[in-house]
Amino acid sequence: MRGANITAAIAAMLWLLMLLGGHAGVGSVVGQHVLGYPNRGQIDYYIMVPCAVLLALGFTCWVCNALRRWPQFLVLAALASLLALCPYLLFYGGGV
């Protein structure tokens, strides 16, 4: 389970960095008082998506460690979240 937990921790840290960056970005837009920004889609993309991935990864880690079984499932969940990070980052910056 140790290797599975390390893989899950690395994935969770990367998604936590995305969450903190998204929170700071949305906070800076709120500070500019521009009408209509941040809209609901931006808040969902920059804050809610990383939160959902972190919660899913945390729940998977909790279940696998509580049952002390299925370390492969935990590694698979962590790798899936890392793989989902690539398309997420593609649209994170808003393009060229």
What single-letter DSSP state applies at residue 39? -
Provide Rg for the chain, Cα atoms.
16
Range of the structural domain that residue 9 is part of = 2-92
Q: What is the reported pLDDT for 88?
A: 93
Name the pTM for this structure: 0.90
Contact 64, 4 (CB under 8 A): yes
List all residues 6 or more positions away from 28 whose beta carbon is below 8 Å from its beta carbon: none
Confidence grade of residue 91 (pLDDT, cut at 50, 70, 90): confident
- The 10s digit of each residue's pLDDT in 48-60 is 999 999 999 999 9
Helix (H) or strand (E) run with residue 52 in it? helix 49-67
Number of domains in the chain: 1
